[in-house]
Structure 1
């Protein structure tokens, strides 16, 4: 009996991008056998060219670009198209990209665990199921390495490394370099996406942590520019059919509000202008969601920064050039801050730390503007328009530092240290204006002790910052005419019942 004739291999309709580029046979699977064996990303992004003669009618027809679709998919393999979106139908990262072998799944999982436990309550902008989908696109890889860079700069929040894994997280410099390498393969200008916005935000946070202010400012502006390019700051954008994906809508709106808060905080810290206004509705809180309490704390943080709009920032950045002083407006602002945040007990502790310290810092910001306008009184330190108000603010800072565990502050990073530093400098400046023999009668008893505790917090709590410590120690030494003891006993993490009084 004759043996059956060998079957011909079935014809593949389209080869994957890698096999097409290398001119080798592709089995058409997703991923294909060749890419699986090479352990590289398998994509089908290239558009096959039509075959056949190109006659005169073809030559005369103008070349047409695909219509712009603000949220079209860039990775057909990923089933969350709107999250991984670009401004046109063309793929933003078509080039071959090989991930670093240092970025193992174990390292990525380790960093993401730390982010979602400690950083997510502060910046709830990432969707973990999307991040963990494989194969990863180039822009996903860049987002992950940028997030890991922020975590690498906060090693105290990393969980213990499993003994059997025996690995270490790469350095922040390496992770930033990997992010930028991935971005070289993507056209951010023509193809902005939510992923690229998130990546730019994490780059801003990383450069801010290592005191590279120009780079931090650049990437914050880049994130805002891409957000505005995609019109994610406009309410009407979220009513279009292209944005029907509820996952995309949720994280795009959160990204807007995180940038809204970050831009205003950075403008106050570094005397920069702002571009974003509160043009979106506040995020809805689903009481049945696992994120419900985090979202309530997030809304509280938005409410703290919302009053610090264009008018205030303009006065803050150029107090001398502003001739009009609205005393009633500044008083209302201080009164609003004093009576904000009525109930924080159910919020995650990392959010409580951020909210309580940010509120005290914003009080100092308003106090500084009032001082520059010469509208302060000599009333006692509890008066919000008193020259001596920093004594009360600093005392509350010290109390907050004793009521919450240190890790709650460490997760906030260098930003929270800078805020305490600003409060300490304002108190030191105030004490330098009031002779030592009169301090007891004009301010609270123990104000000098409060300053010393503030110095210790800046130097040894919340991760510490020697750069800020040196400046504050110098100010404290000058105004007190004494040396500052830098030792600090361990914090008392109890006394939660006093939290609502701050």
Structure 2
């Protein structure tokens, strides 16, 4: 699998599913109907009428079915943000009449290609050949297949910068449109009772996309939905007698749901529903790079340190008391996190995620000790001193220097927040140190801030 960045247009294939323009353009419609440019200036086409007359009008009865927003918003905005000169709009109408009819557009093809290249190492949950085959299907895709592709496209739009002519704002608009398509398709069916593996993945990808859009509550909501749907779809059924590779994907998915929920709990103090770490097999999928599962196992091991005891401590808003047992537990955890990880033969994208997370967890456990009043100026273990964030930031600086920027950027907002939190804690620690130590570590702080600002999307993710 190649980890090289994709900076060119994905080949566009004309498909029988391609969207057709819902309304003719004003110029075309007027000339066709009247045959005169003079009359064209006096009369409105239907789309022009909808935009100019219906849009500002509000139905006094409050009937939402009469709302003009659905008529006017999609076609106009989509034509402005399409990255393909000859492409069809990103969204004609949101499939409210025939929600099961799916259209393969160049944008979706590119989104899938970018997902496979940049995001699959982080989410190794899909059969790539099966995913590609969905793009070449001549039949109408069903609801779960459609929502999966839309959610992948939404995630790729908001997470990956390789979209020519689309800036961050336009990609956010397009991302929200594809999420709305998922919502519309699900409203037309009882997707909870009919939950499939693809439905679980779609909710997970929507959750991550909302996180990138800085909608934390919505992100958490759809993460919890993905966890609920995983039970409804029997992902953890021990009597699963189907394809062993499919069972392996199910187990990986639940492990990633656990990792993602623990991250949300730590970053935003959200409650958790997966109490115990689920099992994660170390087998590789057929035709998969063995390093993929190796890197995922390393990440899973790190998050498994955030056990139920830690969650209770972290979310406790009251005063907690320090005990010898808690101090020993935190000291043991810090000892594990200080040990270097064997990351040979692991892709740069996975290595970035694991190593930055390792340093971030060192800070999280130090903050836990600080909360318990275990941190002092004279502690024999540096993990319980006020200067420990300096040690963590120094290690993070070495990690960042060893990685190509694209490997870090592939993880989006989450990895930037981890780095920022460490850099901010370093700044706090330096204010408590003498001038000599501050001068010695100033370059570390400067490098971390420069590496954060170097990302093309970091300014929008501040």
Structure 1 residues 351 and 448: alpha-carbon distance in aligned structure 2, compared to 1, 3 A threshold: same
Mean Cα displacement is larger for which, 193-202 or 177-186?
177-186
Alignment partners' CA distance in 2, 1:332 and 1:365: 14
* 1:143 equivalent among 139, 145, 148: 148
Q: Corresponding residue for 2:187?
A: 184
Q: Corresponding residue for 1:243?
A: 241
Structure 1 residues 324 and 377: alpha-carbon distance in aligned structure 2, compared to 1, 3 A threshold: closer
Alignment partners' CA distance in 2, 1:111 and 1:392: 40
Shift of 1:324: 4.9
* 1:173 equivalent among 172, 176, 197: 176
Greater C-alpha radius of gyration = 1
Alignment partners' CA distance in 2, 1:39 and 1:431: 58
Q: Corresponding residue for 1:424?
A: 423
Alignment partners' CA distance in 2, 1:220 and 1:358: 20
Alignment partners' CA distance in 2, 1:113 and 1:39: 18
* 2:450 equivalent among 431, 442, 456: 456
Tell me if the contact between 1:457 and 1:464 (Cα under 8 Å) persists in the aligned partners: no
Alignment partners' CA distance in 1, 2:282 and 2:313: 33
TM-score normalised by the chain length of structure 1: 0.66
RMSD of aligned C-alpha atoms? 3.0
Instruction: Say which SS state the counterpart of residue 382 (structure 2) adopts.
Output: coil
Structure 1 residues 107 and 200: alpha-carbon distance in aligned structure 2, compared to 1, 3 A threshold: same
Structure 1 residues 108 and 467: alpha-carbon distance in aligned structure 2, compared to 1, 3 A threshold: closer
Alignment partners' CA distance in 2, 1:284 and 1:244: 19
Superposed CA deviations along residues 104-137 of structure 1, whole A, max 9, x for unmatched, are 1x33332222111111111111222332232321
Q: Corresponding residue for 2:209?
A: 206
Q: Corresponding residue for 1:226?
A: 229
Structure 1 residues 391 and 157: alpha-carbon distance in aligned structure 2, compared to 1, 3 A threshold: farther
Corresponding residue pairs, total: 361
Alignment partners' CA distance in 1, 2:196 and 2:438: 53
Q: Corresponding residue for 2:199?
A: 196
Superposed CA deviations along residues 411-461 of structure 1, whole A, max 9, x for unmatched, are 011110000111122122223334xxx142xx4752222223222233333
Structure 1 residues 315 and 279: alpha-carbon distance in aligned structure 2, compared to 1, 3 A threshold: closer
Shift of 1:466: 4.9
Bigger relative contact order, structure 1 or 2, given CA contacts below 8 A and separation 6+? 2
Shift of 1:243: 3.5
Structure 1 residues 432 and 109: alpha-carbon distance in aligned structure 2, compared to 1, 3 A threshold: same
Alignment partners' CA distance in 2, 1:38 and 1:451: 52
Structure 1 residues 425 and 261: alpha-carbon distance in aligned structure 2, compared to 1, 3 A threshold: same
Alignment partners' CA distance in 2, 1:38 and 1:210: 29
Structure 1 residues 452 and 283: alpha-carbon distance in aligned structure 2, compared to 1, 3 A threshold: same
Instruction: Say which SS state the counterpart of residue 273 (structure 1) adopts.
Output: coil
